[in-house]
Amino acid sequence: MTESRDETHFGFRKVPKAEKATLVKGVFDSVASRYDLMNDLMSFGIHRLWKRFAVALSGVRAGHRVLDLAAGTGDLSHHFAGRVGPTGLVVMTDINENMLRVGRDRMLDLGHAGNIQFAQVNAERLPFPDDSFDCITIGFGLRNVTDKEKALRAMYAALKPGGRALVLEFSHPVSLPLRKVYDLYSFTLLPKLGKAVVDDEESYRYLAESIRMHPDQETLKAMMEDAGFERCDYHNLTGGVVAIHRGFKL
């Protein structure tokens, strides 16, 4: 699906670019309170393994500064806070106030106080100086960003030389049989699960549509290279249902 200069996609719909952020906000306002439960149900708990693998690829160690974009309820931030230790810092961010509030409360309940900060941030306009972070991650959030290229350029600018960025995102299954099964699950079962658990079928229909509209693995790799990242690669997980893209600022 092509986009005009002033339009973008919201799932399978074309909408004015100025409206997408508000539409996405409505989706996550609706699901914030049961976001973790739905993640466990719709991925059968496998999302925890995907995130642990992303953390392992991050190279984060004691004393590092980490920016976690679209952090949601903080699964990645939680692991990073343990890795950077008392001399490091994790900045946990989300564009959605409700999601950030849920995530902040969860982090405080888990005992993270001294080395984690919270900020409501738009990934396209990062309010940080250049060369600020050793690692920047965005987990299951890039597909919701209106201008993905702008967000990738902002991530590159905010990284320190030698730092790396990780994009953990739903992607495109590599085999046709898996693709067919995944489509059946995404467009038939997932909205019904959303209806049953959070009384919101439309938000999870959008989720399935947004995944299909997200760039495939090679396209996203090329986008990261265009943004300035070097040594870009990606790792397919669960047959390409999810991919972790990685790029370095050298």
The domain in which residue 168 lies consists of 20-173+208-248
In a domain, 41, yes or no: yes
Band (pLDDT 50/70/90 cuts) for residue 4 is low
Cβ atoms of residues 123 and 150 within 8 Å: no
Question: Per the structure, how many domains does the chain have?
Answer: 1
Full-model pTM: 0.93
- DSSP letter at 146 equals S
In the predicted structure, residue 202 carries a pLDDT above the cut 70: yes
In a domain, 123, yes or no: yes
Q: What confidence tens digit (pLDDT) does each residue in 127-139 have?
A: 999 999 999 999 9
Band (pLDDT 50/70/90 cuts) for residue 27 is confident
Lowest mean pLDDT of 8-12, 25-29, 141-145, 152-156, name the range: 25-29
Q: Which residues pair with 159 in a beta bridge?
A: 133
Q: How would you label 35-58 residue by residue, b for 16+ Cβ within 10 Å and e otherwise?
A: bbebbeebbeeebeebbeebbebb
pLDDT at residue number 42: 84
In a domain, 187, yes or no: no
The secondary structure element, H or E, covering residue 193 is helix 190-198
Distance of alpha carbon 223 from alpha carbon 152, whole angstroms:
8
In a domain, 182, yes or no: no
In a domain, 186, yes or no: no
**Highest mean pLDDT (candidates 26-30, 54-58, 94-98):** 54-58
* Averaged pLDDT for residues 6-33: 88
In the predicted structure, residue 31 carries a pLDDT above the cut 90: no
Lowest mean pLDDT of 57-66, 115-124, 161-170, 188-197, name the range: 188-197
* Averaged pLDDT for residues 229-247: 98
Query: CATH number of the domain that 46 lies in?
Result: 3.40.50.150
* Averaged pLDDT for residues 91-117: 93
In the predicted structure, residue 112 carries a pLDDT above the cut 70: yes
Report the first-to-last Cα separation within the chain, whole angstroms: 34
Task: Give the CA distances from residue 189 to residues 168, 181, 206, in Å, rounded to whole numbers and listed in that order.
Answer: 23, 11, 13
* Averaged pLDDT for residues 162-184: 96
Q: What is the mean pLDDT of the chain?
A: 93
Lowest mean pLDDT of 24-28, 189-193, 232-236, name the range: 24-28
In a domain, 1, yes or no: no
pLDDT at residue number 1: 43
- For residue 105, how many other CB atoms are within 10 A of its CB? 12
In a domain, 240, yes or no: yes
Q: What confidence tens digit (pLDDT) does each residue in 209-223 have?
A: 999 999 999 999 999
